[in-house]
Structure 1
Amino acid sequence: MDKKDSIYGISYFVYTILITIIYSRLFVVPDMFSNLEGRFYAKVLYRTLFGLPINLLYVVPIFIILKIRKQGLRSVGIKKDKILKSIIIGTIAAMPMSIYTMAKMNYSIKVINPNILENIITFVELLIFVSFIEELMFRGFLQTRIQGLIKNKWLSMIVVGLIFSIFHIPAQRAYLEMSLTDFIIYNLLYLGPLVLSHIYYTALYTIDKSILAPVIAHTITNFVNELFILPK
């Protein structure tokens, strides 16, 4: 990748932040999430109806840029080879992060969801609408493009890790109804691990230049968090 790719990458990041801010102001309504608590299928429908449009707004520009730059899907880590290897690597890599997630869990108020169908739907939803989208955006596209400008591997990972962290702020801040300053002050323990998780997922990506391994690891880690619910 060259500096022109980096310019596309930076422009894309600015675009995604603007889209996320607008989306967060329009559709992230804390009272709505509270009303949907315990109503699994209603929550899935809500997240799908409002998540699908913004995910399309996230990924379509990537494919447009690839077309303009005459670059293939392999340049963003979408490959057909070594699929089983990537799945195994992603599954193993998910273990330490899943253990970390479980260590933070409050088992006195949460239990494992016994509904198998709900768990399957949750896993698929996380796989498609969260993990695949974010891995394509940050590990497949942004990380590889920013390296055209920042040649130092570790520095580029830290920079994109910060970008990854910033990307999560608008929606989370809207959900918690906090000012930007308060959110950053009170959620450093949330934002910091996002930078580390980017570095971790990027390391998985670099093994075979494929987003599949980090997609699997990301999905399992998030699923472990969703697996535990409040008793009905």
Structure 2
Amino acid sequence: MLSRIRQFFSVDSDYKKSTSQYTKTDGTIAVIFYLMLMLSYYGMGRIYVERKMYLGIICNSILIVICIGLVFIRGQKVSSLGLSYKKLKQSLLLGLVLGLFMILANNIIPGIAGGSHFAQISKILYNIFYYFVIIAFMEELIFRGYLQTRIYGLIKSDGLAIIVVAFMFSIMHVPFQMAINNKNALEFVAGNFTLLIFTFFYHIVFNMIQRKYNNIAGNTLFHGFMNWGNSLMV
């Protein structure tokens, strides 16, 4: 039993090998990219407030392109972001099982029990694109595929590296909300502390799936289901 548990939480050998090869330059570029992301999200929030324009799809698409571009500039393979056919089926299967369990337990069953009904088909289909591609894929690519792997160039301790990026992922949600709610960072954190703590641990869970298969497919699917499920019932 214990050996099976250890096997389930094992880390892919190629993941270990690749993360050990990143340099201080890789880590520094990753941190600069993260700061740019934070600034762009704050700016997106200000534009939303002042001009009533939501630029989430455009902004996230640009960030995806920049992230992949940085990998190519550094002479690295796109597979180093977890975009690979390797263990793709296993990764997708785990993400699918976890995702379906989440929306059944957290959304569909409580929703039906509470008298809610499914949203319109057009909205459901649009939200599949938005939550799986624009949100989940972008965040998994950047935070699990890129930042978490490159941070090892600066932080050699595995546990500390995970905690640092989990914190980065958690507060990534602050700038946009801070801007649209006209609050400073401390006010927003104080009012949303529980949500930020959950987000911190979500990174750890998503990263465990990433490390297990060295593939972001499963965590993207699981992440997408978690977000999409919240819009499934009305």
- TM-score w.r.t. the length of structure 1 is 0.82
Partner in structure 2 of residue 21 of structure 1? 42
What secondary structure is seen at the aligned counterpart in 2 of 1:111? coil
Deviation at 1:122, TM superposition (A): 1.1
Gaps of at least 5 residues in structure 2 are: 1-21
Deviation at 1:15, TM superposition (A): 1.1
Partner in structure 2 of residue 161 of structure 1? 166
Quick one: distance in 2 between partners of 1:161 and 1:63? 21
Partner in structure 2 of residue 60 of structure 1? 65
Q: Which amino acid aligns with 2:48?
A: F
Deviations 1:37-58 (A, max 9, x none): xxxxxxxxx75xx223211331
What secondary structure is seen at the aligned counterpart in 1 of 2:136? helix
The match for 1:71 among 68, 73, 76 is 76
Quick one: distance in 2 between partners of 1:100 and 1:149? 39
Deviation at 1:215, TM superposition (A): 0.3
What secondary structure is seen at the aligned counterpart in 1 of 2:153? coil
Partner in structure 1 of residue 201 of structure 2? 196
- How many residues matched? 212
Structure 1 residues 71 and 164: alpha-carbon distance in aligned structure 2, compared to 1, 3 A threshold: same
Quick one: distance in 2 between partners of 1:18 and 1:77? 26
Deviations 1:148-179 (A, max 9, x none): 22122221111001101111101122333333
Structure 1 residues 144 and 23: alpha-carbon distance in aligned structure 2, compared to 1, 3 A threshold: same
The match for 2:211 among 206, 209, 216 is 206
Partner in structure 2 of residue 5 of structure 1? 26
Query: Contact conserved, 2:210 with 2:216, CA < 8 A, in 1?
Result: yes
Deviation at 1:64, TM superposition (A): 2.2
Q: Which amino acid aligns with 2:168?
A: I
Structure 1 residues 68 and 203: alpha-carbon distance in aligned structure 2, compared to 1, 3 A threshold: same
After superposition, the CA RMSD in angstroms is: 2.5
Quick one: distance in 2 between partners of 1:98 and 1:140? 24
Quick one: distance in 2 between partners of 1:4 and 1:61? 17
1:145 matched to 2:166? The reply is no
Partner in structure 2 of residue 115 of structure 1? 120
Partner in structure 2 of residue 85 of structure 1? 90
Deviation at 1:99, TM superposition (A): 6.5
Deviates further, 192-201 or 150-159 = 150-159
Quick one: distance in 1 between partners of 2:124 and 2:197? 28
Gaps of at least 5 residues in structure 1 are: 33-45
1:125 matched to 2:130? The reply is yes
Deviation at 1:11, TM superposition (A): 1.0
Deviates further, 115-124 or 199-208 = 115-124
Quick one: distance in 2 between partners of 1:130 and 1:60? 14
Partner in structure 1 of residue 17 of structure 2? none
Quick one: distance in 2 between partners of 1:181 and 1:90? 34
Quick one: distance in 2 between partners of 1:11 and 1:107? 45
Query: Contact conserved, 1:89 with 1:213, CA < 8 A, in 2?
Result: yes
Q: Which amino acid aligns with 1:21?
A: Y
What secondary structure is seen at the aligned counterpart in 1 of 2:72? helix
| Structure-to-structure mapping, 1:218-229, within 5 angstroms | 218-229=223-234
- TM-score w.r.t. the length of structure 2 is 0.81
